[in-house]
Amino acid sequence: MNRWTPPPPFGTVATDTAAPLDITRLLTTITDNLVGMIYRCRIDAIWTMEYVSEGCHKLTGYRPDELVFNNRVSYGQMTLPEDRERVSRTIHDALEANQTFDVEYRILRADGRVRWVLERGVGLRNAHGQLAWIEGFIQDISERMAANETLHEAVRRYRSLFEHATEGIYQTTPEGRYLNANPALARIYGHASPNALIAHLHDIPRQLYVLPERRVEFVRLMQEQGVVRNFESQVYRHDGRIIWITENARAVKNADGSVQFFEGTVVDITERKQHDAELEYQASHDSLTGLPNRSLLRDRIEQAIGKARRDNHLVAVAFVDLDHFKLINDSLGHHVGDRLLLEVADRLMACVRGHDSVARQGGDEFVIVLTEQHDKNEIISIVGRLLEAISQPWVDEGQEYGLSCSVGISCFPQDGDDPDALLRCADAAMYKAKASGRSTYHFFTPELNQAISERLELENSLRHALERDEFIVYYQPRIEVASGRIVGTEALIRWNCPGKGLIPPDSFIPIAEETGLIIPIGQWILQEACRQNSAWQSAGLLPISISVNLSPIQFRHAGLVDSVAEALAQAGLDPAYLELELTESFVMQDAERINVAMQALKKLGVDIAVDDFGTGYSSLSYLKRFPVDRLKIDKSFVRDIDTDPDDAAIVRAIITLGHALGLKVVAEGVETPAHLEFLQRHGCDELQGYYFSRPVPAAGMEALMRGPENACCHCLATLDTHTASACGCEEQIFE
């Protein structure tokens, strides 16, 4: 029967007659298989090895017999020179203190590789009590040292990022106390250092957030989602100033799922918020007067309608248009016109109550939204004060001007229940007030619906005019004074509207600009003008320049340069034969930005002309920087040059100015021999006007180009089979 026998006590040797234990063999096996080297060395100048284990070869690359008694190399010599003194001092200090030692250092292996090792040892004394030997163990710790170095490097990088980040970085308790913060966060919140911030801000909801409920919301999101992203709030800086911040953070949890702390980043977005507010203000307010513009006006009317529905009140929309503003603006310049508009804005604001609104619709048109009205008498009382305020004389730079305005009024709910309807009705009523003698007001009546209907009908027809091919381009020649020949022509659009006949541009271009249709219409004019000019050249006619007027809306359009390049490419027209015209008043509205756009157009190779010159307020310092080729004198100055000394002086000055700037000067509106003689005498370069030809279709322009002596200036038939007397024409062209 088998019986269990307990093992022998530890430290004793179990005997078995079949397999006796060989202690020496056991220790040798252990020694040889240790990952590292067991050694015994003398305490002498070169640490002479008396014994090394088999692990020596794997550790150092040397066999044990090569190290014992320094047969090939001294182990001490394997230690890197820069580590030797430290290692020696550490060992000696431990031996003197009768202690074991641990020391880490580098050795140079037999194969030339450097390895980190950890040596542990103890000193042994001889029979006389003197330190004579060291016994110890050396193992390779290179991998651990590399891992430690990687960890230390990561810590250094994190610390560097933490210390030098431009974003604020923090850790806080859920209750609202800072645990950690970096220098950037201290700067954002106006503290001298992170420690100062942590010491001061011990109650984040009340001390930091302008609205403590924002912190409550922050914590709620953390509890529900564990993260917050782009969380914007207003906070107090240490100096009391309020700034905007955005936070991104997460909740760091313990193993049991409880929140340990919050950590995240903070960015100061005050400048961005201010910029956004400025953009929003600019988008909703008139740049000159600071009054609400059209977009904000619609919102104000909608709000007024909503409140009136709830309170059962009236809302009045008063459309205010200055009388004869264009006369002041054109004759005295836009700088005077702008000051007048500012004065009118102030006067209108002084006539309304705090809950009313004054907006600038555009140009010299203003709109007033009168809320909480009970009957028309209240509305008439306010409008009466308004008319009286506007009619007061205006003094500007010592000059007194008489003012007046016409006011059209529509009311909610009887005239409409949305902003567009009320504005249309008020606009129609305003035109009725102007027709009634100006400086008065008129309420909208159903009879005025006819005028609105006609306007809407025209707008609707215009929307389809391009696709129905209803536009025609007429051309008016430009004559070179020196040679008397045609050197250019201006492309002028006409609309052949079914049922209405030929409609001049003054009647539909404003509608096109209001609706945005001017962009496709303007592109069509460009393409047609370029195509026609190319066709004339292909027909063998002498090449001339063709001028196309650009609307301010076209010019502000981002795709203008591409549109011009596309029109030239489609027609195969040399850019040198295309000229683009801009009015002087528009050029000076935003001179710097417009100059940049002009430069881009000039790179295409086209010419640029300033039209209606003399009616605006050009700054010569800007004009000389513009890449302009021609100045076109407005016809209002040419009309009376032979009878009005002032007009004559202005025209002479413009010609002199243009030549001084190296520009060609063109006079528009030349209608009489007296005009021609004056302009020839004073050196005007080119002429345009009824004296030479009215605007004519392409066929008529071609007849003129083939030889003006062979064409009638009115019907433009060739004179081979036609005479002026035969058709009743009074004169031949250039007669």
Domains and CATH numbers, the chain: 23-142 (3.30.450.20), 165-274 (3.30.450.20), 289-444 (3.30.70.270), 468-695 (3.20.20.450)
The pLDDT assigned to 44 comes to 86
CA dist 271 to 72, 243, 247, 268, 278, Å?
74, 9, 16, 8, 10
The pLDDT assigned to 507 comes to 80
Distance CA 521, CA 129 (A): 113
Which amino acid does the sequence have at 530? C
And the tokens for 328? Answer: 């002041």
What is the CA angle 30-34-36, rounded to 5? 145
- Percent helix, strand, coil in the chain, to 5, is 45, 25, 30
Q: What is the pLDDT of residues 355-372, one digit of tens each?
A: 899 999 888 899 999 999
> What are the mean pLDDT values of the chain's consecutive 10-residue runs (735 residues total)?
42 48 63 80 88 91 91 89 92 92 94 94 90 93 85 73 83 92 94 94 92 93 92 95 95 88 94 88 87 91 92 94 75 81 94 92 92 91 93 86 90 92 91 80 85 77 90 94 93 91 84 84 95 95 94 81 94 95 70 79 92 65 79 90 91 91 92 94 94 93 79 44 38 33
The pLDDT assigned to 555 comes to 80
> Is 370:349 a contact under the CB 8 Å cutoff?
no
The pLDDT assigned to 363 comes to 86
> Is 500:494 a contact under the CB 8 Å cutoff?
no
And the tokens for 234? Answer: 């207003």
The pLDDT assigned to 718 comes to 40
The pLDDT assigned to 622 comes to 64
The pLDDT assigned to 719 comes to 39
Distance CA 601, CA 579 (A): 10
HEC profile of 284-341 = HECCCCCCECHHHHHHHHHHHHHHHHHHCCEEEEEEEEECCHHHHHHHHCHHHHHHHH
Distance CA 370, CA 352 (A): 8
